[in-house]
Structure 1
Amino acid sequence: MARFSFVDGRVGWRYLAVSAGAHQVRAVQRFARGVRHATVPGVRARALAGPGIRYHAAEAGHEVRLTVPGEFDAADRRAIRQRDVTSVPEQFVLELPRATLTGREGWVFHDGRLVEDLWQEAGFPARSLLPPSRSLRPPVHLPGTTVSLLMPWSPNYYHWTVQTVPRVLHVRRALGGSLDDVDQWLVPGRAPAFVAQWLDLLGVPASRRVEVVDADAQFSTDRLVVSSVPGRNRWVSAPTVDLVRRAALPVPPTGTGRRLLLHRDGQVRRLLNADAVLEALARRGFEVVDPAALSITEEARTFAEADIVVGVHGAGLTNLVFCRPGASVVELTPRSLVYPTFAKLALAAGVRHRVVVGSEPRLPWPLRFPDTHADLLVDVSRLLAAVESELARLAHSC
């Protein structure tokens, strides 16, 4: 069995003070960018009209509601509701003649106006993320038909899997089920291997991929086809989960029963008492799995065969989209990162979700923010109680 040992973790009051200060600096910078771009004219997709402009509805908007775990204290209840929303807008595919794309995130402009609702994240409006206009290069012209898969926070594994992959599938449907007429695809450059694997699975030819690396990049297009970004504020829908599942694993495996403990080999969100957790769960039949060492199809099959998954908040838990409905996931998370990403994803996937919050110190409420770098210490007895409860439920349901 693999052994894990970490020292000098990102925990304690000194670390918390430094991380809170850095977060405030980033928030001020983002606010300043929003102010600087406040006068950028904008337009919503449905308001666009003219020759060659087409709007294809892809998925209906709907109301959403977060259920907060009953064992959370008041501070964690407030933290998990930060930046939450009560509705998710309609998803769509837009065809635009003579569009311009700006920056590494691919912000779309038509006739000098920002198409505002392609990006739907509350709390991070498009204008706060736009690159400085004075630093942009002259546009590179792309003839024919271009599809853009660019967006903020990509190619992070979570955002790629549950936001970008569905965009390809929405575009394919809008184009009549075929991607043959697409001349080039704008994709994130210097991306991890999973990006190319997914694009191969989805039928996007490598020869037609244009990798975008630079924040000052600009492109002009003859014809742009682009999908809105689904999963507003982590509210991934059940139809989106179904699209991703079927794309990676058209025929689900029949075997189940595996118990997975996800190995996380990274510099953030390290499990500081991982040895104790590994020892306790190994006695209960858990096997250590490193999702990063698997191909997309291997990940999909592995998680589809699982009854229960335990893992630290991070990319690996994105694979719960492949778990069978009725399976269980137990998420381990730092006290400074009580965030509903995987609770919402589990709800869409029909998977039961439990969270075990770390026992390290946390900031008081006015200073709380989702600290994605903090390490964690897990109370092993609390973890085992959650795991035993889920195993009993699974045994009873058989």
Structure 2
Amino acid sequence: MNLRLLIQYFPWLLGLRIRLIVLGRVLAYPLRFLPGNSRTFGPPRKLHYAVHDVPGCKMTKLGAQYAVQRVKPVTNSRLVEAEFGRMPDPTVEEAYVAELPGGRYFGTGGGCLVVGDDGLVWTHSPTNYTFKLSLHHAFSRLWLPKPQRYRKVINLATRCAEANYWHWMMDCVPRCRLLAAAGVDTSDALWLIDHRRLPYQLETLQAFGIPEAAVLVPDARTHVEAETMIVPAYLNPVLTSETITYSGESLEFLRQTFLPPEGPEPPPSAPRAAERIYLSRGKGARSFANEEEVTAVLEREGFSVVHCEDLSVHEQAQVFAQARIVVALHGAGLTNVVFCQPGTTVVEIFAPDFIQPYYWTLSCQARLRYAAYCEDERRMGIEGFRYRRAEGTAVDLQQFKEFLRPLLTR
């Protein structure tokens, strides 16, 4: 019986486990102030906020931070207006590539970055449970695994990218653009990349000529030390949904990579020249409770049903490039609107308790027409477990048809 099942049968074990973790960290934290080095015992001894503060760091700056403005969306929902209205303008983060002598990496989920003076780099150590710098969980480590040494390591480990299409395509993949823009020689490097060998991930690695043999997928036992650790900037360092966005260069990089002018035709299984597409979530989580009825309504309006999980990245790019209107429940498949032609209409359907601005922002940047549909009266007002709340969202078919009708005539 695994720990999760055990806790379901005996819930008090969760409280005991948390108390033991907290006690262990309290006892281990003073080790940070002892002499020595985390290579041999204890946690890192110093703290740097960012790579800019690291002695001996070579920085190649590629772009400054700037804000992006969003256009007010078309919506039927006062709730969407309120949620989107309170959000500040999103920020494109500074772009750079850092070369760190004696850099080290350990952990999973983006992991922790430690530099030659045994200092933890806080902004590149996202596996953290607090926003207070001095309380990063890495400082409570009793010991680290024995480091494996390499000459050159490219640290492309990206939080949440290992199993999520949006984070993989938007947070991880465009970091390769920074390496190319900085002129980094990647031919003899070890790559640190979080992934689960999902088809779209392997396809992407192949597109960039990254051999599988050169990729190390971090796990709990990973501790890598490099003569030179090369770290491209995080594009979305704190995963704050309200201000999340990406540079125009990153979006164009995706289009040029997966939608070349001479690219392949869509496969027989994909809609050909379909100007209206509906992204079905029938095979995934957070689908409509009345999925069949919604599909039938849209098919009568000339929509082709697309299952993104059945297509390669290149095939998805081709399908979205042909579309003139895209309808979907909020989900990672909408990442592909980056491949749409300017002027394409994107209709995103929200569960009332799960309204996120990702695709609104992306649509504004890609010069798409964006509309958000939400049925406010179904809001439950529950604050926890928001991902579960989005499951089983039912749509009022008549209300939805009335909202959709003027969008189809544009």
What TM-score range do you get, normalising by the shorter chain?
A: 0.7 to 0.9
SS in structure 2 at match of 1:330 = strand
* In structure 1, C-alpha distance between the alignment counterparts of 2:183 and 2:233, rounded to whole Å: 15
Tell me the residue number matched to 1:307: 324
| C-alpha distance 173-215 of structure 1, shift in aligned 2 (>3 A) | same
> Is the 1:291–1:299 Cα contact (8 Å) retained in structure 2?
yes
Over aligned residues, Cα RMSD in angstroms? Answer: 3.5
> Is the 2:73–2:360 Cα contact (8 Å) retained in structure 1?
no
The structure 2 residue matched to 1:159, chosen from 163, 167, 170, is 167
> How many residues in Structure 1 have an aligned counterpart in Structure 2?
357
Which blocks of at least 5 consecutive residues in structure 2 are unaligned?
A: 1-14, 33-45, 266-271
Which blocks of at least 5 consecutive residues in structure 1 are unaligned?
A: 1-24, 394-398
Tell me the residue number matched to 2:103: 99
Q: Deviations over 1:16-52 (max 9, x none)?
A: xxxxxxxxx9xx99xx89x9789972232223332xx
Deviation (angstroms), 1:114: 2.7
* In structure 2, C-alpha distance between the alignment counterparts of 1:95 and 1:387, rounded to whole Å: 51
Tell me the residue number matched to 1:16: none
Q: Deviations over 1:360-398 (max 9, x none)?
A: 63244xx647823322112223332343322211xxxxx
* In structure 1, C-alpha distance between the alignment counterparts of 2:385 and 2:71, rounded to whole Å: 18
* In structure 1, C-alpha distance between the alignment counterparts of 2:73 and 2:407, rounded to whole Å: 15
Tell me the residue number matched to 1:45: 51
Question: Could you tell me the TM-score, scaled by structure 1's length?
Answer: 0.78
Tell me the residue number matched to 1:109: 114
SS in structure 2 at match of 1:372 = helix
The structure 1 residue matched to 2:155, chosen from 148, 153, 157, is 148
Deviation (angstroms), 1:120: 9.0
> Is the 1:312–1:331 Cα contact (8 Å) retained in structure 2?
yes
> Is the 1:356–1:378 Cα contact (8 Å) retained in structure 2?
no
Deviation (angstroms), 1:148: 1.5
| C-alpha distance 132-336 of structure 1, shift in aligned 2 (>3 A) | farther
Q: Deviations over 1:125-164 (max 9, x none)?
A: 5968856742664243231111112121112110110111
> Is the 1:60–1:91 Cα contact (8 Å) retained in structure 2?
yes
The structure 2 residue matched to 1:242, chosen from 230, 238, 252, is 252
* In structure 1, C-alpha distance between the alignment counterparts of 2:225 and 2:365, rounded to whole Å: 37
SS in structure 1 at match of 2:342 = coil
* In structure 1, C-alpha distance between the alignment counterparts of 2:99 and 2:227, rounded to whole Å: 11
**Is 1:190 the counterpart of 2:207 in the alignment?**
no
% same residue:
25
| C-alpha distance 352-118 of structure 1, shift in aligned 2 (>3 A) | farther
**Is 1:380 the counterpart of 2:385 in the alignment?**
no
| C-alpha distance 358-129 of structure 1, shift in aligned 2 (>3 A) | farther
SS in structure 2 at match of 1:41 = strand
Map of 1:1-150 to 2, 5 A cutoff?
A: 41-50=47-56, 53-69=57-73, 71=75, 75-80=79-84, 87-104=91-108, 105-110=110-115, 111-118=117-124, 125=131, 130=137, 133-134=140-141, 137-150=144-157
The structure 1 residue matched to 2:222, chosen from 217, 220, 223, is 217
> Is the 1:62–1:87 Cα contact (8 Å) retained in structure 2?
yes
Structure of larger gyration radius? 2
The structure 2 residue matched to 1:169, chosen from 170, 174, 177, is 177
Moved more, 73-82 or 265-274: 73-82
SS in structure 2 at match of 1:246 = helix
Question: Could you tell me the TM-score, scaled by structure 2's length?
Answer: 0.76
The structure 2 residue matched to 1:273, chosen from 290, 308, 311, is 290
1:57 aligned partner, one-letter code = K
> Is the 2:66–2:93 Cα contact (8 Å) retained in structure 1?
yes
The structure 2 residue matched to 1:230, chosen from 226, 229, 235, is 235
* In structure 1, C-alpha distance between the alignment counterparts of 2:172 and 2:132, rounded to whole Å: 17
2:347 aligned partner, one-letter code = V
SS in structure 2 at match of 1:324 = coil
